[in-house]
Structure 1
Amino acid sequence: MDNERSRYRIKARASVSNHVGRFERHCRETVDDGWHRDEELPLLRTETSIERPGSVITYNRSPDLPFDRSINPYRGCEHGCVYCFARPSHAYLGLSPGLDFETRLVARPEAPEVLKRELAAKRYKVAPIAIGTNTDPYQPIEKTQGIMRACLKVLAEAGHPVAIVTKGSLIERDIDILAPMAQRGLLRVGISVTTLDAKLCRLMEPRAPSPARRLAVIRRLARAGVPVRIMASPMIPALTDPEMEAILAAGKDAGAGTASWIMLRLPQEVSPLVQEWLAQHYPDRAERIMTRLREMHGGKEYDATWHRRMRGEGPYAEMVAQRFNVAVKRLGLKSNAPPMRCDLFCAPVLPGTQMSLL
């Protein structure tokens, strides 16, 4: 465990620990020596550092993803969802996927300028860009940094299609950009609703908007003409998966037109973090939940095999998939949205370059 983090009071954080990442050679642990026992520890607060990226568009070749490129304005996420599959990425920074992921954030304020440069490159071929696939672009830090909004302006001016995934209500701030993009066929938004239980949400996603607030976001986006997907993700066996139908119905009532779901994923350091969280908050269900997950991954806590990692296999996974299919059909939701337009793209003109006459 990181010695420095353990010297603080922890409030509204999902991680129970701050174990070092898998690339670190040493592990430190705090020992109570009996001194200063009556003194109140300072509150652990969020810290932000700055990164100047050489590139911002990340490409992937994963055959089970509906996109081949993405942007992440931030590293780490203050929403602090305990199950977040992006937590292991913090290990590459020499930080813990535990509390560090929630409290030591990295902002990339030059991302909009770098993005504009990448879109202007002659070799660039347009295709939808996904934002929010790793960390939430509308987490609280965006309110002061404004990096996501600046990136959206670049994409809107270039007529570039974009798909956004978020839990953040701050997305409402950008409806003035999002609505015109949607009218041009350049935008899709997915809102993740993991549970309708406000208490469970606060334990599991301590600094994300409440379920009711997220449904209100769907409603406001839909009224503005923005196509919205209700994402019942991740489904946690014996904890949130009984709510699947209710979540989908609530999303439909709020104005969502499409829906999707993903089973809980436990890659790398996420598994021990989730198990610690279960032991603290739901000890009566912890073993049952982990047993179900192992059943779906051939006895392992996680299987990263393409086309299996998102849903798992076996009777339980098939049952959840069937429930989803029945629910979306009954509710009139769709699983797939129409493709976004790529024919409106016009490469940005960089300062100091000559505009084409044609």
Structure 2
Amino acid sequence: MSDAGRTILKGRGASSSAQSLRFHGIERECDGDWRDYMEKLEGPPVKLRTHVVEEHPKSILTFNTSPDIGFDRSINAYRGCEHGCIYCFARPTHAYHDLSPGLDFETRLFAKPQAAALLRQTFAKSGYKPKPIAMGTNTDPYQPIEKRYRITREILELCLEVGHPVTITTKSDRVLADIELLKKMAKRDLVAVALSVTSLDANLSGKLEPRAASPAKRMAAISRLSEAGIPVHCSISPVIPAITDKFLEEIVERASECGAWSVGWIMLRLTNEVAPLFREWLEVHFPDRAQKVMNIVRDMRGGRDNEPNFHARFNPKGVWADLFRARFRAACRRSGLEKRKIALSCDSFTAPRLDGQIQLL
């Protein structure tokens, strides 16, 4: 299906290669290749292959001072994400590379194969002080290319070796490939995993997050992780009004049945270029309620598509927000679940030597 640039691409979340003008202020021109002209006339090809470029940064650990998030450091082993979640707040980061936050974000990826080696160098520095590292805060550490690169696995192996705590957020049951490693980390209070579940409808999830694991697989992953003694949190994120909010209570109930240690929710955030991409997605997949969805979003965000300010960005306001909070709290009471902090330990951290050995003294 195509409508002047709006194309339903099987296995992809975005419908176009909408460009960002925030950083360069100009649109790219065709380079004379016939494919460029065909795309202008007929839209992007029906099938888009994933291309991966290996990136070699000088450092891998990113520090932040944001006052409204619960971690001060993170690792992103990959840039871009093949899961293709249309609402992903990380999409605008591709604009830094003069790439589209739309289809480029989910088809033109970057991998950092030296991540574990760079992290070892950081851990070895004399002034380094350990605190939990967040993985999956920008792009998913268990997206499909992890099967090939195993960068996330290498990072976890290093963290187990030196006794450094890690949190993982993912939409993939691929995390179960590392369950034996995660069990060893959990016994030393070094890891917690969060599975993000947006709906319980596989067809809807296939439109929202086309290459992520199905809802059933994510719930099964919660169950297996819990049975293995690994602290696992269910994150209902994001909640999309008039699209996915109908699953709110059932997800809480299912998470409890699967043994989740805690549960939480985050309202849809439409940062920068995500807003027009999401509106385009609504017009393609839910034209009958597109205006209703955006009206509710704006009602909770002070009349705007997004509230970017600290503390306010994760705390929607208004009648609709109060209703969602009330529904969530009631569901948690019925299921005996609540959002609770899972404590991780830094006590066993021992800085490594750069020759691969552990410093004992």
> TM-score, normalised to structure 1's length?
0.92
Could you say what secondary structure the match of 1:316 adopts? Answer: helix
- Is residue 106 of structure 1 aligned with residue 105 of structure 2? no
One-letter amino acid of the counterpart of residue 190, structure 1: A
Q: Give the corresponding residue for 2:142.
A: 138
Q: 2:315 is matched with which residue? A: 311
Matches within 5 A, 1:176-215: 176-215=180-219
Q: Could you tell me how far 1:235 is from its partner in structure 2?
A: 0.2
Tell me if 1:336 matches 2:317: no
Q: For residue 88 of structure 1, report the CA deviation from its aligned partner.
A: 0.4
Paired residue for 1:55? Answer: 59
- Would the alpha carbon gap of residues 136 and 43 (structure 1) be closer, same or farther in structure 2, given more than 3 Å must change? same
Q: What's the CA shift string for 1:85-107, capped at 9, x where partnerless?
A: 00001111111100000000000
Q: How do residues 232-271 of structure 1 correspond to structure 2 at under 5 angstroms? A: 232-271=236-275
SS at match of 1:203: helix
Q: Which moved more, 1:139-148 or 1:168-177?
A: 168-177
With over 3 angstroms needed to count, the CA separation of the structure-2 counterparts of 1:293 and 1:345, relative to structure 1, is same
Aligned-residue Cα RMSD (Å) equals 2.2
Checking the alignment, whether the CA contact within 8 Å between 1:9 and 1:43 is kept in structure 2 is: no
Which one-letter code corresponds to 1:98 in the other structure? G
Question: Residue 153 of structure 1: which of 141, 153, 157 is its match?
Answer: 157
SS at match of 1:136: coil
Distance in 2 (CA, whole Å) between partners of 1:153 and 1:352 is 12
- Of residues 101, 122, 125, the one that matches 1:121 is 125
Q: Secondary structure at the match of 2:340?
A: coil
Q: In structure 2, which of residues 291, 306, 323 is the aligned counterpart of residue 302 of structure 1? A: 306
Q: Tell me which amino acid in the other structure corresponds to 1:307.
A: H
The one of 272, 282, 290 aligned to 2:294: 290
- 1:171 corresponds to: 175
Deviates more, 1:197-206 or 1:324-333: 324-333
Write the letter of the residue equivalent to 1:134.
Answer: N
**8 A contact 2:271–2:308 mirrored in 1:** yes
CA drift at 1:348: 1.2
Structure 1 residues 85 and 227 mapped into 2: Cα distance closer, same or farther (>3 Å)? Answer: same
Matches within 5 A, 1:40-119: 43-119=47-123
Q: Distance in 2 between matches of 1:239 and 1:226?
A: 31
For residues 195 and 119 of structure 1, the distance between their equivalents in structure 2, rounded to whole angstroms, comes to: 39
Deviation track 1:189-242 (CA, whole Å, cap 9, x = no partner) reads: 000000001110001110011000111111111111111101111000111112
Q: Percent identity?
A: 48
Work out whether residues 130 and 163 of structure 1, in 8 Å CA contact, stay in contact via their aligned partners in 2.
yes
Unaligned runs of 5+ in 1: 1-5
The aligned residue for residue 18 of structure 1 is 17
Task: Structure 2 unaligned segments of length 5 or more: list them.
Answer: 31-35
In the TM superposition, what whole-angstrom CA distance separates every residue of 1:269-320 from its partner, at most 9, and x where no partner exists? 0000000000010011110110011111111110111112123111111221
1-side partners of 2:158 and 2:268: how far apart?
34
> How big is the shift at 1:139?
0.3
Distance in 1 separating the partners of 2:14 and 2:223:
31
Q: Secondary structure at the match of 2:168?
A: strand
Distance 1:357 1:159, change over 3 A: closer
Q: 1:245·1:327 contact (CA, 8 Å) conserved in 2?
A: yes
Asked whether the equivalents of residues 76 and 90 of structure 1 are also in contact (C-alpha less than 8 Å), the reply is yes
Give the structure-2-normalised TM-score.
0.92
Take 2:327 and 2:68, find their aligned partners in 1: how far apart are those partners? 21
Equivalent residues of 1:109, 1:147 under 8 A apart = yes
TM-superposition CA deviations, 1:5-28 (whole Å, max 9, x none): x8x994310101111123231255
Instruction: Indicate the residue corresponding to 1:218 in structure 2.
Output: 222
Q: In the TM superposition, what whole-angstrom CA distance separates every residue of 1:122-154 from its partner, at most 9, and x where no partner exists?
A: 111111110001000000000000100000011
Partner secondary structure for residue 340 of structure 1: coil
Q: What is the rounded CA distance, in whole Å, between the counterparts of 1:33 and 1:135 in structure 2?
A: 27
My pick for the range that moved more, 296-305 or 306-315, is 306-315
Indicate the SS of the match to 1:324: helix
Distance, in Å, in 2 between the alignment partners of 1:205 and 1:115 is: 30
Amino acid at match of 1:14: G
Structure 2 CA distance for aligned equivalents of residues 249 and 111 of structure 1: 38
Q: Distance in 2 between matches of 1:279 and 1:254?
A: 35
